[in-house]
Amino acid sequence: MTTDATTADLTTTAGLLSAIEYPAGREILDPATGEVVGRTREGSAADIDSAVASAREAQTAWAARPIAERSDLLNKAADAVEASAEALAELLSREQGKPLNGPNARFEVGACSAWLRANAAFELEPEILVDDGETHAELRYDPVGVVGAVGPWNWPMMISVWQFAPSLKMGNTVVLKPSEYTPLSVQALVAVVNQALPADVLSVVPGDGAVGAALTSHDGVDKIMFTGSTKTGQAIMRTAADKLARITLELGGNDAGIVLEDADPKAIAGDLFWGAFINTGQTCAAMKRLYVPESLYDQVCEALVEVAGQSPMGVGLEEENVLGPLQNKQQYDIVARLVDAAKNGGARVLMGGDPAADQPGYFYPTTLVADIDNDNPLVAEEQFGPALPIIKYTDLEQAIEWANELEVGLGSSVWGTDIEECKKVAARLQAGSTWINKHGAVDPRVPFGGVKKSGFGLEFGVEGLKHVSVPHVISW
């Protein structure tokens, strides 16, 4: 680090960078322009050892504080995030690529303070299990200890807060390992939040997947929180078995949306579009395949093309843009391969699908694909980018079967006018969350998690607090 985080002005982007940058470190490039955003330190397994040891030492005193005091500090952390909001959003936009506006960088920083405040407010009282005059039994929730949290590059700040805010509230200390693609955003957020917290309660060790593995396999880590790919989640679960560490896994999905016959295409088009294209499609619980009845098919396609045409894509710091580049080359290649597969399979590209060859940055144009077979790779695999396949159906039973037939089950959605009918279809979908007339609308009060290969464990709300605690029954 060049400047001590305690002396830098963390309300400016330059101040944030001066607090976290490591001049001899690896260059982080803006995915929209290729320009250098900053340089990051690369941690090692030895840094993980030291961070976990410090977190363990700090945990006893942190857990011993009254819960109201920990809540108060989470609110102070939210104040600090709000004071640095614009600087954090700018750094996030430059490193991750997401625009300042739309459901993107400013929105993400706003969610960080919202989740901190919500966790500060939640109450998890002991549950009285039996109280019949002879026996009294109550269930309490104790801290787990040290939480090791590994995060992804799509919502690097917000997902870090999802992991550390409930953990801190419950008296745990936390070591974060951010994605190697977005380490500056998480280090900046931690520098800001740590203005409000005691030393070593929350720390961050940047580095690659090996550094992540050093954290998740560490004997001093009692609970692992992971958000990322199913493959890495499976690897983490294997190593966690040796020490029986507790785990929460929030993995990829391939969320289906089903439009019902009584939906109003024009009325739902905006929410359909943003359900799929939030963060330029790089969102775990975004809609990644849309099933539309034949009777509404052309109208829904036309309405989506219209919304897409009004949603500019470009460099994130330019205020008019609401869609940005893919964050990295690996993800760009996945999207390009899947759209090519759709074209080769005879699907009709309504818009997009033709990336410019000579531009800087990983921009893939907003792409809507119609008349595509349900078994095409663009439908069957997770694209995690700005390309939505729209599949026509004639039989609702068939659409439900298609929605449920994949190995993953994170989110899903049903769109229609008759809410009771929507609820009946929703109840039949295999997913951790099913939204009606919206998609991916997470709320800090409402539990969120996946089924099947989308992972397990719940985040958010009082249920989320239970998942970063250990149950403890006391009876007499």
Q: Does 160 bind ligand NDP (CB under 6 A)?
A: no
* Structure letter (DSSP) for residue 125: P
**What is the C-alpha to C-alpha distance for residues 259 and 390, in angstroms, rounded to an integer?**
11
Per CB under 6 A, the list member of 167, 216, 367, 434 interacting with ligand NDP is: 216
Q: Does 30 bind ligand NDP (CB under 6 A)?
A: no
Determine which one of 90, 95, 250, 382 is catalytic: 250
Of 110 and 209, which CB lies nearer to ligand NDP in the complex structure? Answer: 209
Q: Does 399 bind ligand NDP (CB under 6 A)?
A: no
Of 18 and 217, which CB lies nearer to ligand NDP in the complex structure? Answer: 217
**What is the C-alpha to C-alpha distance for residues 355 and 365, in angstroms, rounded to an integer?**
6
Residue showing the smallest CB distance to ligand NDP in the complex? 212
SS3 435: strand
Q: Does 213 bind ligand NDP (CB under 6 A)?
A: yes
Could you tell me which stretch among 74-82, 97-105, 191-199, 245-253 binds ligand NDP (CB under 6 A)?
245-253
Could you tell me which stretch among 73-81, 147-155, 428-436, 467-475 binds ligand NDP (CB under 6 A)?
147-155
Q: Does 229 bind ligand NDP (CB under 6 A)?
A: yes
- Cβ count within 10 A of residue 241: 10
Tokens of 198: 């005691």
Tokens of 321: 């843009």
DSSP 388-430: EEEEEES-HHHHHHHHH-SSEESEEEEE-S-HHHHHHHHHTS-
- The yes-or-no answer on residue 95 being catalytic is no
**What are the residues facing 470 on neighbouring strands?**
142
Amino acid at 165: A
Provide the terminal-to-terminal Cα distance of the chain, rounded to the nearest Å. Answer: 54
C-alpha dihedral sign at 64, 68, 71, 72: negative
Of 400 and 408, which CB lies nearer to ligand NDP in the complex structure? Answer: 408
Answer for the pair 461, 123: CB distance below 8 angstroms, yes or no.
no
Q: Does 48 bind ligand NDP (CB under 6 A)?
A: no
CA–CA distances in Å: residue 263 to residues 131, 300, 366, 431: 50, 10, 24, 22
Tokens of 250: 């929030």
Of 71 and 163, which CB lies nearer to ligand NDP in the complex structure? Answer: 163
Contact map string, positions 332 to 361, toward ligand NDP, x by CB under 6 A: --x---------------------------
**What is the C-alpha to C-alpha distance for residues 405 and 418, in angstroms, rounded to an integer?**
25
Size of the site for ligand NDP (CB under 6 A): 28
**What is the C-alpha to C-alpha distance for residues 60 and 133, in angstroms, rounded to an integer?**
35
- The yes-or-no answer on residue 284 being catalytic is yes
Q: Does 95 bind ligand NDP (CB under 6 A)?
A: no
Could you tell me which stretch among 41-49, 173-181, 309-317, 372-380 binds ligand NDP (CB under 6 A)?
173-181
> If you count them, how many residues does the chain have?
476
Q: Does 236 bind ligand NDP (CB under 6 A)?
A: yes
Per CB under 6 A, the list member of 40, 113, 119, 227 interacting with ligand NDP is: 227
Per CB under 6 A, the list member of 250, 255, 271, 459 interacting with ligand NDP is: 250
* Residue the block writes with tokens 């983490």: 236
Per CB under 6 A, the list member of 179, 187, 413, 434 interacting with ligand NDP is: 179
Give the pairing type, strands 348-351 and 367-370. Answer: antiparallel
**What is the C-alpha to C-alpha distance for residues 347 and 374, in angstroms, rounded to an integer?**
11
Per CB under 6 A, the list member of 191, 382, 402, 466 interacting with ligand NDP is: 382
Could you tell me which stretch among 78-86, 111-119, 208-216, 256-264 binds ligand NDP (CB under 6 A)?
208-216
Q: Does 47 bind ligand NDP (CB under 6 A)?
A: no
Determine which one of 112, 284, 301, 422 is catalytic: 284
Q: Does 204 bind ligand NDP (CB under 6 A)?
A: no
Q: Supply φ then ψ for residue 118, to 5 degrees.
A: -65, -45
Least distance in angstroms from the C-beta of 414 to ligand NDP:
22
Amino acid at 355: P
Could you tell me which stretch among 13-21, 211-219, 298-306, 423-431 binds ligand NDP (CB under 6 A)?
211-219
Residue 128 region, left (φ>0) first, then alpha (ψ -120 to 50), else beta?
beta
Catalytic residue IDs? 250, 284
Q: Site residues (CB under 6 A) for ligand NDP?
A: 150-154, 177, 179-181, 208-209, 212-213, 216, 227-229, 232, 235-236, 250-252, 284, 331, 334, 382, 384
